[in-house]
Chain A
Amino acid sequence: MTAQLIINGISLGAVYALIAVGFAIIFNILKFSNFAHGGFMTVTAYVGFLATRFWHTSLLWTLLIASLAGGMLGIIAELVAFRRIRNNKGPVIYYFVSSITLGMLLENLMTIFFSTNFYAYPNFFPVATVKVGRLLLGVPELIMFCISSLALIILAVLIYRTKLGTALRSVSYDVDTSGLMGINVLRIIQLAFFLAGFLGGISGVFLGISYTLYPQLGQLVVKGFIASVIGGLGSLPGAVIGAFLLGIIEILLIRLVGSGISPVFIFVIMLLFLLVRPRGIAGSHIQEKA
């Protein structure tokens, strides 16, 4: 029984990890919490839905279309909401307000265009569950876990093994110096937004599949936030670890106290965790520079 719960928790955690990493990439580069990430997920979930509705795409194509749309959205978001602030060297607070505003804007645009109706993705999976030994595995969850893990592994290779990734890491370490070293900072920031949007697209479709589609879907981004707080703000491995932990804790809590009240317990756990280990599991201390 416990093994079953933990497996369910891990597959839930994989989706949370996508959200948390997409969020952490932006945090790493520009040092602010990107509240527009939920908006990215909502929009891409609808884009994926429209693709299935009009072109009857398979799961992989849906994912690809949605995540490319997410990537484009990320680049547009950077242009519309963040570029001028960066050029003006505005304080971090402005990025922050800008991202909150953008998130609200996207959510409300979705409400206007699609009303508050609920839509459902078509069923991509012919078989709902498979039995491995005594464990019952849900096929959608299993596939989500595989695709999420694959996306995260590719991302890790990109960040830690390629030249582009080195540039990304150096910009996240120090924007000005890496600019002096001949890195095109603007391109790297665009890349970061593209990656964040791309991951947001995958998670948007997955959330759309697991829940139904409604304009406030993006508010599930709170799970990603909690995961990155637990993991340590700005740390990519931390975000992944935090997300898996959160997934397991959440599944256990749903079993123990029910799904309605579990957010309260998760919140309390997060507070206690911050009391004990303020920087999260893997977080390095980010000192605000004078």
Chain B
Amino acid sequence: MELLASVLTFTAINVVAVTGVFILTGLTGLFSLGQGAFMGIGAYVAGLMAVKYNFSFPLAAGGAVVVGLIAAVIVGLPTIRLRRDYISLVTFGFGEAIAALLNQSVNITGGAMGLSGIPKQTTLLLAVTSAVICLFLVWGFKCSRYGRQCLALRSDELAARSMGINVNQVKMVAFLLSAAITTYAGVLYGFYTTYVEPVMFGWTKSAEWIIMVFFGGINSLTGAVVASALLTGLPEILRAAAEWRIVAYCVIVLLILNFKPTGLFGEYEISLLSLLRRRGNRIREGEGS
């Protein structure tokens, strides 16, 4: 039971993070290899606020998200107007810089020893609620004007620009929202494990999330959620395979990229409306016969 609860909590936290990555990678087609660093910012800032200054969870979470947003603005402003690759390369460098910062400021963060003693305040309920709220938030974003503009610029930036879409602004909004959500995932993570260390937030973390988004289907939020549940939940239960887990991830993703480039779900989304409509059709067909 304990194990199940912990697996579910980690899955929920991962879902939060992956929804953040989905906005950036799935919708906008940008790759941030610094998402792990945002998670680190979330965990550390909130953790420090709680450990050193006894802030309550909501205040600490809010503070962390604000810091994450500031960092995102600093990284985003110079890079967002450049070619896509710059965003991945610069965020990669950003991740390295944050790791170095966390490792070096020993008297604040504990350096490589990590930060311990964060109060355990993330419960299963809180994690799941956060995941659901984030899902709705991202769902709304996808359906909004911004979301559709993101899709447009993902398929063809030049065409999107010539249709009058303010490409830079849309990218920035997506980047900020994504950073905020990932930072929050970091807060949840820190307050669940009560202990964080810098190595947890390297670029492999970010790459893992990108892989989850791709595994599920690049344009499908449903796919992203299913993939993060599958790829987080299963290996936790099948402990023995832990070492080979990432290898298996990678092989699966290479296979998917080669043979089914649209991912597990492609563009498919589960939506209440379509479910209802299908039921409605069935009823109508019943009336007809």
Contact = CB atoms under 8 A, between A and B. Distances in A.
B246 interface: yes
A278 B81 contact: yes
A101 B96 contact: no
A263 B97 contact: yes
Residue among B82, B93, B249 with most chain A CB within 10 A: B93
Contacts of B247: 105, 108-109, 112
A92 B97 CA distance: 27
Contacts of B257: 81, 84-85, 90, 94, 97-98, 101
Contact of A108 (B94, B96, B246, B259): B246
B29 A271 contact: no
Interface string A169-197: 00000000000000000000000000000
B96 A271 contact: no
A260 B254 contact: no
Interface string A98-113: 1011111101110010
Q: Is the interface of B mostly helix, strand, loop or mixed?
A: helix
Interface stretch (B182-190, B204-212, B229-237, B269-277): B204-212
B8 to A, nearest CB: 26
Interface stretch (B42-50, B61-69, B72-80, B144-152): B72-80
B263 to A, nearest CB: 10
Given A229-B86, A278-B81, A290 B159 contact: yes
Contact of B101 (A107, A226, A264): A264
Interface in A252-280: 258, 260-264, 266-268, 270-272, 274-275, 278
Nearest to A225: B89
A127 interface: no
Contacts of B203: 219
Given A81-B254, A90-B261, A104-B250, A274 B79 contact: yes
Given A101-B253, A109-B247, A271 B90 contact: yes
A97 B210 contact: yes
B103 interface: yes
Contact of A32 (B85, B96, B104, B214): B85
A85 B31 CA distance: 18
Nearest to A233: B85
Interface string B155-167: 0111100000000
B88 interface: yes
B4 interface: no
A101 B100 contact: no
A236 to B, nearest CB: 16
Nearest to A81: B254
A270 B82 CA distance: 14
Contacts of B107: none
A101 B79 contact: no
A80 interface: yes
Contact of A229 (B89, B103, B157): B89
B251 interface: yes
Given A80-B254, A104-B246, A33 B210 contact: no
A3 to B, nearest CB: 28
Contacts of B99: 263
Interface of A: 27, 32-33, 35, 80-81, 84-85, 88, 90, 92-94, 96-98, 100-105, 107-109, 112, 219, 222, 225-226, 228-229, 233, 258, 260-264, 266-268, 270-272, 274-275, 278, 286-290
12 contacts: A81-B254, A85-B261, A93-B218, A108-B247, A108-B250, A112-B244, A225-B93, A261-B100, A263-B96, A266-B97, A267-B96, A290-B159
